[in-house]
Structure 1
Amino acid sequence: MTMTSDSRHTSWRPQEPALSVRQVLTLERVLAGEPEVVAGAGGLDRAVRWVHVAEAADVGVMLTGGEMVLTTGVLLAGDEAKQAAYVQSLHRAEAAAVVLGLGRAFPTPPEVMRRAAERCGLPLVVLHRPFPFAELTEEVQSRLVRAKFAAVSLSEAVRTSLTALITSGAPLQRLLDEVAQHSGCPVVLTNLAHRVLATAGERPAVDDVLRDWERIARQAWGHHPGLSGTGGGSEGDGWVRAELGGRGERWGRLLLCGYRGDSASGRLLADRAAEALVLHRMLGGASGRTWEEQSAHGLLTDLASGTVPARHLLPRARAAGLPVNRRTFVPLVVPGAEPGRLDRVLRTLGLTGLVAELADGATAVLLSLARDQDAEALTSRLAARLRTP
């Protein structure tokens, strides 16, 4: 079973909840110290995983990344080489930021440190009214612990609810509805070509996503739907992705569209959802249909019932990979036809369409034809081919 929720497709590992540098600087205790960002302002959205007080010039060897380092600079005063080395050491260790309390060692922001921090993009913050660093470390650590507990609680709640649904034989759509309820945003399940197989969430928000699916897919994965690759929008922008697969192959992808919680909670939620969807697929689901078959069945059932407005069906058809611009749609019902054979015949004839088995042994087809194609002639050819043993 494989699940990947970062944009580089590395193996999954738990992510610690974090505050951003910007958020830390807005804490009441920090504001009382009159903070000023003197370098690296472009990195203020970096995640702060922990807070350390450190004075040694080689502090980087003690860090693991994501730390906000607090210092008075007492061991750096008067030695510009050490000041530059201190900043470089933090940069190499991927520290989130460095906070310098102005005072006896540095009454004003040191220019050497400022230039070094600006060159490497490391946020350098000075406190014009320093206060005991212990107060800041206690405040940030307690917030991080509370955030971690909340994320773990969310993860377990999602795991429990999805496991219960799978155990009860719930269909795929019910699982996605549960994920959408926890995430508070549209949820999209796609195949590897980024064709939409199922969605969940509030209908207006989902419709907005489907109407703009090609752009959203490019933003989320960094390329046009249908092409392989990864990248695209970051989880900080609310695009939380999870790869779905097992038994040595990938099946599809899950996307939380515009998730507004913190990124760690979003990743945990996506990973728990991915686990459940993989298990659901491996167990065969409630209907025995593949996800692709369930997608086509849902769309064609809604079309046949007439209960869903066409303006809602068109974005769904487009997101499912069916050409919709300047096309003629031909709905057909073929009694007694086996969906797999009908799908093969469509491919043989070079026709584009969706196929799904409906009730009473009938199979529905929705053909998408170019404006210059003769619908009557093509449907006649299809009927003749189906009559051939």
Structure 2
Amino acid sequence: MPPTLGGLVRTPSLGLRPLTGGEGLDRRVEWVAVSELTDPTPYLAGGELLLTTGVRWVDSPPDLRAYVRRLARRDIAGLGFGVGVALERTPDELREAAAEFGVVLLEVERATPFIAVGKEVSRLLAKEEYEGLSRAFTAQRDLTRAALSGAGAIVDRLARDLGARVLLLSADGSLAHAAPTGADRHPTDLTEGLDRLKTAGPRASMAITVGDEHVWAQPLATGRRVRGFLVVGAGGRLGPEQRTLVNAAVSLLSLELERDAHGDVARLGEGVLVALLTGALDPTRPGAERLAAALPPAPVVVAVADEVGAPHPPHGILTAGHEGRALLLAGADTAVPTIADLLDGPIGVSDPVDHTGLPVALAQAERAREAARAQGGGTVRAAELPGGLLGLTDTPAGVGLAEDLLAPLLAERSHGELIASLRAYLAASGRWDAAADALGVHRHTLRYRMRRIRDLLPVDLDDPDARAELWIALRLHAAHG
């Protein structure tokens, strides 16, 4: 809420009393100025609440009528006179002059320091700025969401937020979309101006007044080539928040028209594709219908490799580079040889999933790529790998961790006996007789070996988590030994 004279009067702590100009209390206060000069107007910008105590008026009374006339011409918001400092009451001449020239005159009681009035105006201005930024942020977020449904949705949303008439024009000046309904009037005075905008550069703009309507036009372009124009018609000048929103719409519409001009709506930007695969963007969220339509039809597969081999994949296949890897999204009916032609390096391919399972598919493809790298290259599908939790650990990294865990045993000369004893002990859930029978040794022999194992391993064999890790490590060691 902006600071006004009425708002300050209604602040009990300030104790301001209006003496004249009650109808002007809705006047906005831009700042507070304190001056005892007989002519402070050279130091005023207009819109200030001027505060004075009249300390110089005691010995040399000024022409108060001329004083107030100068302030009125400077278009101040109001005049505040502090009583009880130099004068015990507000001079009648000052009150009469304020009434004559339409200046709001406020009386400031002795107990109210001028700095308190300044602080209150400063607080209200900061609050207004914060509220404006919050509204602008929300509006820009809604505008970006509207972009998922196309250029028309951007125009509709902008018109709603501005409370204005918005036109989207093609590069030749013809109407492509208008909002709100029935707002498709095309100002004839724009035609010549649009031709100038085409050659003036993407940052140029123009403004005209048609009757009571203020009209702005800006070109839509991502380079030097203009793809269209955005026209906004409003009943008054746009404020900073509204101009920020228009600039955001210009950027979104420029990207939209540039993408449509290349005729490849199905190809998403690399950042969007990465956001889909990592789960940062949900293609099923309300309002994302256009995004989902741009994806290959479900079911889809995800492939991961070192590099993209073909710079221009066929229609319906999306590629991106991210964190030193190449990512690919294609329909599940796309043959593996086709994917192999598009990607370089060991390739991992996920199981078929719907659009909600893209992050899971990415994890599967990553694991399959590690398996392909371990076997020296080629293409590996996730379906060819061991399943379950054990399968998730069956990667070069998992095997390496297993070998590190078992390293103290493997370094022993009798490591074969120790490994076999540990496996039998874990398989028998710690039952000595059952484990010893499985090994074909006396239980005292097994006890001796297990004491040695306990001394060598950096884990507690009585901890169920440690037993589970050791069992998986033994399984991986056996599979890759």
**What range is the shorter-chain TM-score in?**
0.3 to 0.5
TM-score (norm 2): 0.39
TM-score (norm 1): 0.47
Q: Which of these two proteins has the greater Rg computed from alpha carbons? A: 2
Return the structure number with greater relative CO, CA threshold 8 A, min gap 6.
Answer: 1
